[in-house]
Amino acid sequence: MNNTNNVWFVTGGSTGFGRKLIEELLSKNIPVVATSRNLSAFDDLNISDNKNILKVQLDVTDKKSVNSAVKVALSRFNKIDVLVNNAGYGYSGSVEESEESAVRQMFETNFWGASTMIRAILPTMRKNRKGNILNITSIGGMLSVPAYGYYNASKHALEGLSKALALEVEPFGIKITNIEPGPFRTDWAGRSQFSANHSIVEYDNTPAREYEIASQKSSGMQDGSPELAAKAFIKLIDSDNQPMHFITGKNAYNRELVEIKNIQDDMFKWSAESQHLDYGDELYWL
């Protein structure tokens, strides 16, 4: 696909990956639908006479808002070639301490919001027999860490949905890539994160509390560059070999190598038992 002919639709465009991607697209004269719950987030962009950008108010947890945003985008550009599901936020706290209402609200954005966007945009992509969907999941969609169990669960859910979706829409020329970042200098561990009440003292000085504190302290000092990530996202779409998974950043890459090794070690250690569970294998267990 030729990027200069693509129309991009970016959710969660006010900060972080979304904002840097919008800026990079505009610098390359690539049309983009820039969305945010509050359009004032784009006031500092020098875009008064730029016909390549359409600013649209969007709340991905509101189906009417989603459908309206897509309709406005199609009215302006007649097509949407690339959907970037970037809207989302973090939630930390041990599983036992986490508040169900807050967790469900996070799922409404991180999982159901992305799902609603996908379902709203698929019809036009199917009609055009081409399209790309980039889901900003997380390395937390591939592995898990203490204090972020429910956040990891929301991203694991999106990973699973995306892998099934990729098989379903391949006949229509639509490609799916899960973007799986580690620590990047975004608002994720700052303004875009909420925490459970630390109500159980037994979790003090445990990995759950220690990892949560370390993560929050690192906000604004992460090594990952959202500006460089934006360049990589555009390169992915312009590639003939677009991956299902894009491990984003050195930190995520190294951690995923360890995760893969741990899975392989478990498989090999228990391979005999795993492979003797069919009818006819009864003698193995005597």
CA–CA gap between residue 204 and residue 209 (Å, rounded)? 6
pTM for the model stands at 0.93
Does residue 244 share a domain with residue 266?
no
Considering the domain boundaries, does residue 255 fall inside one? no
Sheet with strand 32-36: strands edge to edge: 53-57, 32-36, 8-10, 82-85, 131-136, 174-181, 245-248
Total count of domains within the chain: 2
Q: What is the pLDDT of residue 47?
A: 76
Q: What is the pLDDT of residue 222?
A: 84
Does residue 147 share a domain with residue 169?
yes
Is pLDDT of 153 > 70?
Answer: yes
Considering the domain boundaries, does residue 131 fall inside one? yes
* Span 67-85, average pLDDT: 98
Considering the domain boundaries, does residue 199 fall inside one? yes
* Span 241-256, average pLDDT: 97
Considering the domain boundaries, does residue 253 fall inside one? no
Does residue 200 share a domain with residue 100?
yes
Does residue 175 share a domain with residue 40?
yes
**Mean pLDDT over each residue of the chain, to the nearest integer:** 94
Does residue 114 share a domain with residue 149?
yes
Is pLDDT of 2 > 70?
Answer: no
Residues marked as catalytic:
151
Considering the domain boundaries, does residue 135 fall inside one? yes
* Span 61-87, average pLDDT: 98
Host domain of residue 199: 3-248
Q: What is the pLDDT of residue 61?
A: 98
